[in-house]
Amino acid sequence: MPMIRRPRRLRSSEAIRRMVREHHVRTEDLIYPMFIMFGEKKKIPVSSMPGVYNYSLDEYIVALKDVVEAGIPAVLLFGLPESKDETGTGAYDPHGIIQEAVRLTKKHYPDLYVITDVCLCEYTDHGHCGVIQDGRVLNDPTLKLLAQTAVSHAEAGADMVAPSDMMDGRVGAIREALDEAGYTDIPIMSYAAKFASAFYGPFREAAGSAPQFGDRRTYQMDPPNGNEAMIETALDIQEGADMIIVKPALAYGDITYRTKEQFGLPIAAYNVSGEYAMVKAAAEKGWIDEKRVVMESLVSMKRAGADLIITYHALDAARWIKEEQS
Ligand code: PBG
């Protein structure tokens, strides 16, 4: 039998490989997460995430220059408050760290798209994403505080809010509060499929948000569950989510694929802190080729169906994409 089909024909040179390439990571797809705190002239490295820092507001504005010049269209902001308390008042303080950071960003870079993470865990002294009573995270009383947080971000000038707490009904509560306050045009990107993942470890160091007792398994999803992610996503869409996040990204490509197939709305894959830390650690040891591993990981998220990628690699990726093009 002569071999008529030879798939290798379309792999024989870089030219043809480029021509038949199905997916691309574009700089426009990237969202860069940043951690901001009060104080001056502080740029504190996060030890488990080389290249990632906690910035004071002035240093944050300096760092934004690179982000904007790299062509990255959006940032996702996380705040480290001055002090923490039981109900996370720093999260919805009109002069809280995120509210100040958003105002400052818009003053310096009005066209940069500013997305804010809406959650309480960085602001509560117990480190949970909601209000606590008798060691349990209360759902419904937390909704009001999340809604208040989202509105305060919108008031400061945020372009989009991203609730990451995983309380039931929070997208609806936030939508209603935003609409009531006149922010009908501010979209919600919900962390709809957010799993109780061990991959968030380095983030909790960066944000100082590790739970002081227990874990997040009563609100974040159980990693083995795929169908449950579809239910969570359907609920968030019903409640008014404009876009959804799948988180983490790398071990959850099936979830990205299924949500895209089933719902079709824009999806952001969150390439989380632990995924970043693993690549950085192995690259530092010289065990992997960092650039190739990062770009292969990011394009796998696009192949799975993600439209956008939230990643700490964004600055490097933008540089590598530019080099490829020139
Ligand atoms: C806040 C939040 C977390 C992350 C994003 N928003 C931590 C958590 O849920 O424990 C994790 C991001 C990352 O690991 O990069 N709830």
Burial 206-232 (b: 16+ CB within 10 A, else e): bbebeeeeeebeebbbeeeeeeebbeb
> Residue 160: what residue type?
M
**Is 247 annotated in the active site?**
yes
Distance 163 CA to ligand 1 centre (A): 11
Which among 247, 260, 280, 302 is annotated as catalytic?
Answer: 247
* CB-based burial label for 6 (10 Å; 0-12, 13-18, 19+): exposed
Residue 281 scores a pLDDT above 90: yes
Q: Give the nearest ligand 1 atom to 117 CA.
A: 6
Which among 194, 260, 280, 302 is annotated as catalytic?
Answer: 194
- pLDDT, mean of residues 224-238: 98
Residue 187 scores a pLDDT above 90: yes
> Residue 214: what residue type?
G
145 lines ligand 1 (CB under 6 A): no
269 lines ligand 1 (CB under 6 A): no
Q: pLDDT at position 124, please? A: 96
Residue nearest to atom 11 of ligand 1 (CA): 200
Q: pLDDT at position 180, please? A: 98
Q: Model confidence over 5-56: pLDDT tens digits?
A: 999 999 999 999 999 999 999 999 999 999 999 999 999 999 999 999 999 9
Q: pLDDT at position 28, please? A: 98
Residue 320 scores a pLDDT above 90: yes
76 lines ligand 1 (CB under 6 A): no
Q: What percent of the chain has pLDDT over 70?
A: 100
Q: Backbone dihedral region of 80: left (phi > 0), alpha (psi from -120 to 50 degrees) or beta?
A: beta
Q: pLDDT at position 107, please? A: 98
Distance 23 CA to ligand 1 centre (A): 27
Structure tokens at 179: 């609409």
Q: pLDDT at position 277, please? A: 98
Task: Give the pLDDT band (50/70/90) at residue 176.
Answer: very high
Q: Is 129 annotated as a binding residue?
A: yes
Instruction: Name the residue with tokens 């490097």.
Output: 316
Q: pLDDT at position 251, please? A: 97
75 within 8 A of 64, measured Cβ to Cβ: yes
48 lines ligand 1 (CB under 6 A): no
Q: Is 232 annotated as a binding residue?
A: yes
d(CA 64, CA 163): 23
Distance 11 CA to ligand 1 centre (A): 40
Q: Model confidence over 73-109: pLDDT tens digits?
A: 999 999 999 999 999 999 999 999 999 999 999 999 9
Task: Give the pLDDT band (50/70/90) at residue 1.
Answer: confident
Q: Model confidence over 120-159: pLDDT tens digits?
A: 999 999 999 999 999 999 999 999 999 999 999 999 999 9
119 lines ligand 1 (CB under 6 A): yes
115 lines ligand 1 (CB under 6 A): no
Q: Model confidence over 259-272: pLDDT tens digits?
A: 999 999 999 999 99
Q: Is 121 annotated as a binding residue?
A: yes
CATH architecture observed for domain 24-325: Alpha-Beta Barrel (3.20)
Distance 204 CA to ligand 1 centre (A): 7
Q: pLDDT at position 326, please? A: 80
Sign, CA torsion 161/162/168/172: positive
Residue 325 scores a pLDDT above 90: no
**Is 194 annotated in the active site?**
yes
Distance 194 CA to ligand 1 centre (A): 9
3-state secondary structure the chain: CCCCCCHHHHHCCHHHHHHCCCCCCCHHHEEEEEEEECCCCCEEECCCCCCCEEEEHHHHHHHHHHHHHCCCCEEEEEEECCCCECCCHHHCCCCCHHHHHHHHHHHHCCCCEEEEEECCCCCECCCCCCEEECCEEECHHHHHHHHHHHHHHHHHCCCEEEECCCCCCHHHHHHHHHHHCCCCCCCEEEEEEEECCHHHHHHHHHHCCCCCCCCCCCCCECCCCCHHHHHHHHHHHHHCCCEEEEECCHHHHHHHHHHHHHHCCCEEEEECHHHHHHHHHHHHCCCCCHHHHHHHHHHHHHHHCCCEEEECCHHHHHHHHHHHHC
Structure tokens at 138: 């209360």
129 lines ligand 1 (CB under 6 A): yes
- pLDDT, mean of residues 266-286: 98
Residue 232 scores a pLDDT above 90: yes
Distances 9 to 1, 3, 5, 16 between C-alpha atoms, Å: 18, 12, 9, 9
Q: pLDDT at position 208, please? A: 87
